[in-house]
Amino acid sequence: MAGVKLFLAFLVGFSVTMGGTWVDAQVHHVVGGDSGWGPSSDLLSWSSGRAFRVGDKIWFTYSAAEESIVELKSMEEYLSCDVTNPIRMYTDGLDIVPLDGEGIRYFASGNLESCKKGLKLPVEVKPMVKNETSAMALAAGPTPSGSAQMSGLPCLLFVGLFFYYVGP
């Protein structure tokens, strides 16, 4: 497992640092920004005004020793923090979730108390934008919503933080 994580971190760091893009107009959202996913994160402020589109990816970074993330089936499970029967559970400390279809997805802390304290995030996935203007705008830099592609030094810092929290 450690070898897979190392390979993934290297691949992401190399691809993004060298200026590579994986898919035109694809955005990588690091959930919670600099603070990542954790009790001190203000996920609702972070996600406010952010556009999630089909083809984007969301990255969860957190301490695997202290936290896990679950994807829930419904708004009712999300609102009540019913984490007993998730669709998926993420436990690696760095989890990349492709947004491959339209609709609302519900993510919450696997720790019931953390969820009840607000460590949860609904993600409304909108259709992919298919025009040159949006692709050029993404290539030019961050959008007004705060979505940005990772590149250069920030990517290297991200990979460094990954090894700090998760270990080799």
Domain segments of the chain: what residues?
A: 23-166
Question: Is-contact 15 92, C-beta < 8 A?
Answer: no
Helix 152-166 crosses helix 2-17 at what angle (to 10 degrees)? 170
The whole-angstrom separation of Cα 95 and Cα 35 is: 15
Please tell me the class of the 23-166 domain.
Answer: mainly beta
pLDDT digits (tens, 9 = 90+) for 86-97: 999 999 999 999
- Give the side-chain half-sphere CA count within 13 A for 84: 3
The whole-angstrom separation of Cα 63 and Cα 119 is: 14
pLDDT, one tens digit for every residue, the chain (168 residues): 444 344 444 444 444 443 443 444 689 999 999 889 998 889 999 999 899 999 999 999 999 999 999 999 999 999 999 999 999 999 999 999 999 999 999 999 999 999 999 999 999 999 987 764 444 444 444 444 444 444 444 544 455 555 555 555
